[in-house]
């Protein structure tokens, strides 16, 4: 199952896809109701001259998958009321997260309450630890083939997915550290 995600203008293709296909879920971060509505916020009546290409408020009603909307209240580019309006127009299982301190381009991982925790609870994803695991030294005595440093990649090279991973000195194969959020093993 696939969770489709869009942020800002990326919400438009994400919404179109989720409105036309059954997906596991849809995540919209800093979405807008329509391009014309965004222009109206900044240009007033001149927005009426803009041809509408992104009717997100209409599309969200056709989505049948669960929808998570994250929109910061400090967003000055696309006011958070757009996310609120999409939430109200949505007819499926939904959740709106509107952090008080979040701006349009705030790093979603800056605070777990912005994105990570809502994702885990809303979509029932596997649990996630926000602290490094501390393993006693005696547990490092045994050499396992999957602990070699050259078999590990940073999480961002594996689609940013979190996972439990152990790493050691290059070539030694000995585990020196275990992290539950920073790295993930590369599986052959």
Please indicate whether residue 24 is annotated as part of the active site: no
Please indicate whether residue 65 is annotated as part of the active site: no
The answer to whether residues 71 and 18 touch, using CB atoms and an 8 Å cutoff, is: no
The answer to whether residues 32 and 11 touch, using CB atoms and an 8 Å cutoff, is: yes
Please indicate whether residue 1 is annotated as part of the active site: no
- Catalytic site residue from 8, 104, 111, 177: 8
Rounded distance between C-alpha atoms, residue 114 and residue 181, angstroms = 17
- Catalytic site residue from 65, 75, 82, 179: 75
The three-class DSSP label of residue 135 is coil
- Catalytic site residue from 103, 104, 111, 177: 103
**Sign of the CA dihedral running 175, 180, 186, 188:** positive
What is the Cα gyration radius of the chain? 21
Place of tokens 């869009």: 6
DSSP codes of every residue in 47-92 = GGGSPP---HHHHGGG--S-EEEE--TT-SSS-THHHHHHHHH--S
Catalytic residues: 8, 75, 103
């Amino acid at each position: 199952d696939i969770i489709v995600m869009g942020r800002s203008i990326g919400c438009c293709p994400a919404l179109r896809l989720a409105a036309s296909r059954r997906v596991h879920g849809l995540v919209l971060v800093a979405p807008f109701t329509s391009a014309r509505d965004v222009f109206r916020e900044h240009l007033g009546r001149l927005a009426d001259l803009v041809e509408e290409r992104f009717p997100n408020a209409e599309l969200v009603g056709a989505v049948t998958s669960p929808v998570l909307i994250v929109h910061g209240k400090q967003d000055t580019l696309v006011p958070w009321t757009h996310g609120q309006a999409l939430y109200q127009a949505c007819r499926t299982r939904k959740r709106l997260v509107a952090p008080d301190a979040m701006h349009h381009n705030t790093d979603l991982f800056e605070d777990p309450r912005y994105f990570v925790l809502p994702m885990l609870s809303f979509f029932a994803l596997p649990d996630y630890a926000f602290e490094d695991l501390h393993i006693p030294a005696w547990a490092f005595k045994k050499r396992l083939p999957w602990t070699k440093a050259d078999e590990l990649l940073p999480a961002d090279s594996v689609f940013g997915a979190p996972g439990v991973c152990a790493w050691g000195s290059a070539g030694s194969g000995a585990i020196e550290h275990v992290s539950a959020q920073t790295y993930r093993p590369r599986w052959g």
